[in-house]
Amino acid sequence: LLLLLLLLLLLLLVLVLAPPPRDTRAMESHHKSSAAALRVRQRFSGFYDLPVRHDASASDIDSSNFDADAYVSSLLKSKPLPDLVGRSNELSSEIKELDSDMQMLVYENYNKFISATETIRAMKEKVDGMDGEMERLASKVSEITESSFKINSNLAERR
């Protein structure tokens, strides 16, 4: 559990510290697209193990079966240059939006991560301390059992 929590914390920190995409043209487009919102919902659903409807299409960018080469090839064949530039800007904007959402999640939950780490550390220390106490308790129970057996043996003759 401790290892899992530390790995999750490390993953979130890596996402926060990752450099932003370098395409500055994407900053021109600040609208929220439904595709980006859907992608965010799907990632949250995946994180919290909620059921997510997956399209099996290789051309669906949100599908686990997405084929990037086929998608790009299809776009290059069917779209004019201005549309390709627009799609590139949309994707860059969506990437920045997703990065921003992830960073906000980390920032909003930073204190919770720290608190959880401290709680796990305290629990580990308490469990380590309990090992010695449990050994002492087991030896005391063993002594009581022996004493009880001796008393029962001595009293058995008088019963």
DSSP for 62-106, please give it. TSTT--HHHHHHHHHHHS-HHHHHHHHHHHHHHHHHHHHHHHHHH
Look at residue 145 and tell me if it is in a domain: yes
Look at residue 148 and tell me if it is in a domain: yes
CA distances 39 to 58, 97, 136, 153, Å, are: 16, 11, 55, 75
Q: How many CA atoms lie within 13 A of 113 on its CB side?
A: 16
Position 116 scores a pLDDT of 87
CA distances 49 to 63, 85, 110, 152, Å, are: 17, 35, 21, 58
- The residue with tokens 């599908």 is 63
Q: For residue range 12-55, what is the model confidence (pLDDT) as tens digits?
A: 656 555 555 554 444 444 334 556 666 766 676 666 665 555 54
Domain count, the chain: 1
Q: Are 33 and 91 in contact (CB under 8 A)?
A: no
- Which domain, by its residues, includes 136? 27-156
Position 24 scores a pLDDT of 43
Look at residue 128 and tell me if it is in a domain: yes
Look at residue 59 and tell me if it is in a domain: yes
55 CB contacts (<8 Å, ≥6 apart)?
62, 63
Position 84 scores a pLDDT of 87
Look at residue 46 and tell me if it is in a domain: yes
Q: For residue range 64-109, what is the model confidence (pLDDT) as tens digits?
A: 777 888 888 888 889 888 888 898 899 899 889 989 988 888 888 8
Across 59-63, 83-87, 102-106, 128-132, least confident range? 59-63
56 CB contacts (<8 Å, ≥6 apart)?
63, 65
Q: Are 44 and 104 in contact (CB under 8 A)?
A: no
Look at residue 16 and tell me if it is in a domain: no
More confident residue, 34 or 123: 123
